């Protein structure tokens, strides 16, 4: 049904393969557009966006350990460390 396609990265101009499996995944997720950047350029954009994030330190409302979060904590809302947040998600 799907065949590998060779695409050109709009960022660096390199050719990359849009595999049949990736095309199937895109179709399952309802994505209508093909990727426009190669994996290297996509990864570089993601890491650049992450490096611009400001990280805040708070105290976990559950265990009292340090919690590093990418948002400014508010006094009226609890903040949880990664471990407590994950365990709370599993319970729901």
> What are the contacts of 52-61 at 24+ separation with CB within 8 A?
60/84
pLDDT tens track for 21-67: 999 999 999 999 999 999 999 999 988 877 777 889 999 999 999 99
Mean pLDDT is lowest, of 14-18, 25-29, 70-74, for 70-74
Q: What is the mean pLDDT of residues 4-21?
A: 96
Per-domain residue ranges for the chain?
5-51, 56-91
pLDDT for position 2: 92
pTM over 0.85: no
The residue behind tokens 């809302």 is: 77
pLDDT for position 53: 78
With residue 51 as reference, give the H or E element that holds it: helix 39-51
Q: What is the mean pLDDT of residues 7-17?
A: 96
Q: Collapse the DSSP code of 67 into the 3-class scheme (helix H, G, I; strand E, B; otherwise coil) and give the result.
A: strand
């Amino acid at each position: 049904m799907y065949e590998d396609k060779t695409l050109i990265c709009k960022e660096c101009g390199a050719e990359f393969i849009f595999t049949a499996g990736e095309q199937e995944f895109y179709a399952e997720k309802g994505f209508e557009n093909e990727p426009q950047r190669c994996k290297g350029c996509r990864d570089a954009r993601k890491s650049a966006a992450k490096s611009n994030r400001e990280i805040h330190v708070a105290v976990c409302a559950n265990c009292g350990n340090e919690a590093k979060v990418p948002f400014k904590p508010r006094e009226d809302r609890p903040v949880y460390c990664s471990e407590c947040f994950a365990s709370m998600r599993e319970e729901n």
